[in-house]
Amino acid sequence: MSQKKVALACTICGSRNYTITAKPNRETRLELKKYCKHCGKNTIHRETH
């Protein structure tokens, strides 16, 4: 099974700060708590398409 490159966007300001590789065909979007350089704090980042 190959992996797919996805972007993570901040849920507060919407900027796409990170790209990661993840397995495709997941039913839910990946959510991680990461640092947002635009907000200046740790926020939840959600997978975008």
Query: For 2-24, how does the pLDDT look when each residue is reduced to its tens digit (9 = 90+)?
Result: 888 999 999 999 999 999 998 88
pLDDT computed for residue 2 by the predictor: 84
pLDDT computed for residue 49 by the predictor: 77
Domain count, the chain: 1
pLDDT computed for residue 26 by the predictor: 83
Pair 16, 41: CB distance under 8 Å: no
Distance between CA atoms of residues 9 and 14, nearest Å: 6
> Looking at residue 29, which CATH number applies to its domain?
2.20.28.120
Tell me the average pLDDT of the chain: 92
What pLDDT digit, counting tens, does each position of 20-42 carry?
998 888 889 999 999 999 999 99
Provide the strand spans (E) within 1-49.
4-10, 16-22, 31-36, 41-48
pLDDT computed for residue 1 by the predictor: 63
* Residue range of the domain that includes 19: 4-48
